[in-house]
Chain A
């Protein structure tokens, strides 16, 4: 049973435009959500997170939106840059001390 779903395996976006990566979850007990970025042959790096008490968190070019009623979150990258080309993993946890459940990832290609 996949509790965190990233239904788009890949996404291509023109440089300078907005990239929107989507994620759905099924477990209503999740209360903390994270996004990780991964380059080939490297470990994932933490990007941004959001607590369930918020609906938006912004950090520079990255904004995460949370819609609890729809059990949906999204990551917006504006403007998209070539270095943003990577695999992005959505993740969720029941509390900040519990194990983190990851989605399968979305490969983002930023086109010149």
Chain B
């Protein structure tokens, strides 16, 4: 069966510090991968999605970036965090069947 992992589960970072969140999927190959952010009153905001290694589409201009160095690995990064980057970050995957399956999420607090 497929599983999706995210780490860390929680993170507290000062403004201006870098960020790296990792997501890996097991039990499938060539999945479509997604990064979402859930901020208060904003629902689930799609940040990036990837249909293959090295292929990244950005949905929202911001100081975040994403990379997919391996088929089942998706990384969300920032060189300098802003206060507005605080939120709950979710990685998800789909195999073209419509339903997305989400990871457990990372709670990021920027102080």
**Min C-beta distance of B43 to chain A, whole Å:** 3
In the assembled complex, B7 has its CB within 8 A of some CB on chain A: no
- The residues of A that contact B94 with a CB separation of less than 8 Å are 100
A-B contacts counted at CB < 8 A amount to 53
Using CB atoms, name the residue of chain B closest to A98.
B98
Interface hit among A38-46, A60-68, A73-81: A38-46
Question: Which of A32, A93, A97, A101 has the most chain B CB within a 10 Å cutoff?
Answer: A97
Interchain CB contact under 8 A, A32 and B98: yes
11 contacts between A and B (CB under 8 A): A32-B98, A43-B102, A44-B102, A49-B99, A96-B97, A97-B32, A99-B46, A101-B46, A102-B46, A104-B41, A105-B44
Interchain CB contact under 8 A, B34 and A44: no
* Cα distance A90–B20 in the bound complex, in angstroms: 29
- The residues of B that contact A100 with a CB separation of less than 8 Å are 46, 94, 98, 100
Interface hit among B62-70, B79-87, B103-111: B103-111
* Cα distance A32–B99 in the bound complex, in angstroms: 10
Residue positions of A touching B, CB distance < 8 A: 6, 32, 34, 36, 41-46, 49, 89, 93, 96-97, 99-105
Given contacts A34-B98, A34-B99, contact A43 B92 (CB under 8 A): yes
* Cα distance A16–B36 in the bound complex, in angstroms: 34
